[in-house]
Amino acid sequence: MFLILFILVGLALFASSIPEIIDLIGTRSKYGGCYKNERGRRHIVVCGHITYESVSHFLKDFLHEDREDVDVEVVFLHRAEPDLEFEGLLKRQHTRVKYFQGSLMNAMDLERAKVHEADACLVLANKYCPDPDAEDAANIMRVISIKNYSDDIRVIIQLMQYHNKAYLLNIPSWDWKQGDDVICLAELKLGFIAQSCLAPGFSTMMANLFAMRSFKTSPDMAAWQNDYLQGTGCEMYTETLSPTFTGMTFSQASELCFVKLKLLLLAIEVKPEDGGDPKISINPRRSKLPTNTVGFFIAQSAEEVKRAWFYCKACHEDVKDENLIKKCKCKHLMTFRKGVRAIQLVGKTMANKTGATPATPFSAALSKPLLNIKNSVMAKEENGSKPVMNGRLVPIGPNGLVDETYGGYHISYEVKKLMPTNKPADQQKNGKMEVGIADDQAKDFDFAKTEMKYDSTGMFHWTPARSIEDCILDRNQAAMTVLNGHVVVCLFADPDSPLIGLRNLVMPLRASNFHYHELKHVVIVGAVDYLRREWKTLQNLPKISVLNGSPLSRADLRAVNVNLCDMCVILSAKVPSNDDPTLADKEAILASLNIKAMTFGDIITNIESMGDSKDALNNMGDTTVKRPGPIYGTNVPMITELVNDSNVQFLDQDDDDDPDTELYLTQPFACGTAFAVSVLDSLMSTTYFNQNALTLIRSLITGGATPELEIILAEGAGLRGGYSTPDTLSHRDRCRVGQISLSDGPLATFGEGRKYQDLFVASLRNYGMLCIGLYRLRDAALTTVDATSKRYVITNPPFDFGLLPTDQVYVLLPFERKQSRFSFSETEV
């Protein structure tokens, strides 16, 4: 009886607990669990802004068929469960993608995703967020959590704002030398647009290069579309050059690659003799290629680039078909390949064993600022008794080292920042200049008579800080100024709009590899209340003026001679409305259509400059000779930044692009007149697979931003002026982007039916210029340059591609100390 009663009570208790058990089982997420790496494959963890749109764009590029050996599993970690559309994507890619629900701030969730075993962790940003600074702060906190959990994991993060990059340097285990990297959307977006001011359409070319795309030409398409699509199939790759290239100059190697291997060699990785960090050198001059040189190529696939690795002069010199250049059986080449591949597999560990200087984080480097004096600057006197630096005796300390308080003016940032940027009158007493700890420098250096023209890194033109009031023009002052060959920035912003970082737009236009007279004047048309907040970052950059007006006012646009500008840039800093995100571009589209509807001619008269009438006009800088501009606004060179890709259909009323067409296939993007931040999504994948590719892109786009400059800007005091030394002046010797017309000049003969290979070889041999693409009239039947402004970009044309007199050529131009025989100050339309 007792047993029966016991069983009945137990059943009753169990029955009462069934609903609770069901609830527990039902509430358990199917996206809980732990990641299990059963196949031994590598995996990456992707977190941050995870939605169907962001994930689908990421996977499309990351898992592209053109990538070589993508045997990497993608693990997404996010707080929310995926919606139905997202679930469908996960099921279609279930063999290569896993999704777990959890928080990056929770160590248990990081353990579940096996973050400590991951190859890398990628943090995506919400590009359309209403508060960019809050979005960046949240993602930086995620990085702090990840690094706190596993300090040696590689992290690649997207940031919205440039000034937030400084906070990453505060993370002790953040080390760009170990692969950590940041993709700043504002820096790159405005950098791309800046390069388009120098060479219209260049933003489109570069955006297509780092995105993985497969082109498919069709006889049903227009000829210009097929030419453009062939270029979109090109990507950037790296490969070690074979021993055949050892001892060649870069020009010789680049010519061999193009003519024989049908590859475009852009740059090489240069390893300093002192064992420092390797640097990427774009189209270098006079240097010979050492063994094991890594080259940066533009090609259609990774398979094509292997030709540079396999090429053997003994076996392949007579081979006509580049597809037949395969691995040969030369003994010395076999030994070389085995050795190089072993070095590549071992990586940095092998480099340390061979005597290379071990990589040190920024914090360690800065703790010894006085040891940064360059040995290469030093020279010995004829008797060899005393070292000389920059023509002066260098004091020797008791330990036999150079006295580190003054290294021929090339001193570390920690000391440099304590030096005065300007000499106030009250700093000079009794004929001696008081400069704090740098007193001893005043003995050898006359600060009063030395003008600072460049920033402390020598990479950018610099001017003493000016107040914004000195640079503000009203409509009458602008109309009385001969503005020609300048850049007009039409900026829509509210007084409280988030800062977009206009410095990133202007700095590439102030790179020191331009001569001062070549700098294009920048005129910003917009609300002064907003620009006052941006001005702190612009006050040390020369040739900037501000017109307090509206980009929609035709009177303001005529006052700044928009028809005579080299480029009109249309930007918006306004926060998109949550009600209808598609209206985020309404001001930019209206401004673009407004300019295109304008007519010019007798309305604008030739008014001579009255430079001494107002202080504002004295800041205008050099003016150029007035040239005739286009009569119709449709011919004004223009680039419009869009938030929403689909709005590109409203920019050109004469195109027939379908609203669902991908951005890169639309006519405005192909012509270089539209740019959207979404094209930068591909950089996450590109950086993961090839860290050097981002470094190369950043070097081309930013005009020469360096890690040292990043640290200086992180101080928040802006650019600092520096005194010119042989070392800083040597930084001017770097190539830049240019655009040359084939209608006249030294290369005009190549526009008369010659082939692209002839132009490539002649430009490289005679002028050191590396041709990388063409900017061609959309309607090739029109033979005059002024017939239409519609041009399209052709990236790396085939060697037998026919040239036209109206073509313009994208080139990487070496720095010339004297004025170039080519004119780059004006862009033909």
Q: Is 202 exposed, middle or buried (0-12, 13-18, 19+ CB in 10 A)?
A: buried
* Pairwise CA distance, residues 313 & 612, whole Å: 65
Q: Which residue has the higher pLDDT, 589 or 429?
A: 589
pLDDT band of residue 525 (cuts 50, 70, 90) is very high
pLDDT digits (tens, 9 = 90+) for 62-105: 887 767 667 888 999 998 888 888 888 888 888 888 899 888 88
In the predicted model, is pLDDT for residue 154 greater than 80?
Answer: yes
Q: Which residue has the higher pLDDT, 580 or 730?
A: 730
Can you tell me the distance from the alpha carbon of 474 to that of 631, in angstroms, rounded to the nearest whole number? 25
Can you give the pLDDT at residue 718?
75
Query: Collapsing DSSP states into helix, strand and coil, what is residue 270?
Result: strand
How much is the pTM? 0.79
Residue 757 has a pLDDT of 93
Reply yes or no on whether the pLDDT at 522 is more than 90. Answer: yes
* Choice between 350 and 132, residue whose per-residue pLDDT is larger: 132
Q: What is the per-residue pLDDT across 261-319, written as a single tens digit (0 to 9) for each?
A: 899 999 998 887 777 778 888 998 877 888 889 999 999 888 888 888 888 877 877 77
pLDDT in tens, 660-674: 788 888 889 999 999
SS3 state of residue 314: helix
Determine how many CB atoms are found less than 10 A away from the CB of residue 541.
Answer: 23
Q: How confident is the model at residue 199 (pLDDT cuts 50, 70, 90)?
A: very high
* Residue given tokens 């003995």 in the structure block: 443
Question: pLDDT value at position 96?
Answer: 84
Label residues 743-756 b or e (16+ Cβ within 10 Å = b).
Answer: beeebeebbeebbb
pLDDT at 759: 93
Taking the C-alpha atoms of residue 363 and residue 283, their distance in angstroms, rounded to an integer, is: 32
Residue 180's CB is within 10 A of a number of other CB atoms, namely: 22
Comparing 618 with 373, which gets the higher pLDDT? 618
Task: Report how far residue 305's alpha carbon sits from residue 284's, in angstroms, rounded to the nearest whole number.
Answer: 20
**pLDDT-derived band of residue 339, with 50, 70 and 90 as boundaries?**
low
Residue 441 has pLDDT above 60, yes or no: no
Q: Residue 393: its pLDDT value, please?
A: 42
Q: What is the mean pLDDT of the chain?
A: 77
* Range with lowest mean pLDDT among 19-33, 203-217, 598-612: 598-612
List, for residues 537-550, the tens digit of each pLDDT value.
899 999 999 999 99
Q: How many CB atoms lie within 10 A of CB 62?
A: 24
Q: How confident is the model over 101-116, as a mean pLDDT?
A: 89
Binning pLDDT at 50, 70 and 90, where does residue 491 land?
very high
Give pLDDT, residue 369.
32
Please give the pLDDT value at position 444.
Answer: 43
Given a cut of 90, is residue 475 above it in pLDDT? no
By percentage, how much of the chain surpasses pLDDT 70?
Answer: 76
Helix, strand, coil % in the chain, rounded to nearest 5? 40, 15, 45
Give pLDDT, residue 388.
41
Does the pLDDT at position 750 exceed 50?
yes
pLDDT, position 191: 93
Give the pLDDT confidence score for residue 166 in this predicted structure.
85
Q: Could you report the per-residue pLDDT of 693-744, keeping only the tens digit for each? A: 888 888 888 877 777 777 777 777 778 888 888 888 888 888 889 999 988 8
Which residue in 280, 303, 304, 287 sits closest to 253, CA to CA? 287
DSSP state of 374: -
Q: How confident is the model at residue 392 (pLDDT cuts 50, 70, 90)?
A: very low
| pLDDT average, residue stretch 221-240 | 88
| pLDDT interval class at 624 (50, 70, 90) | very low
Measured CA to CA, the distance from residue 185 to residue 135 in angstroms comes to 12
* pLDDT on residue 352: 40
The more confident residue out of 530 and 623 is 530
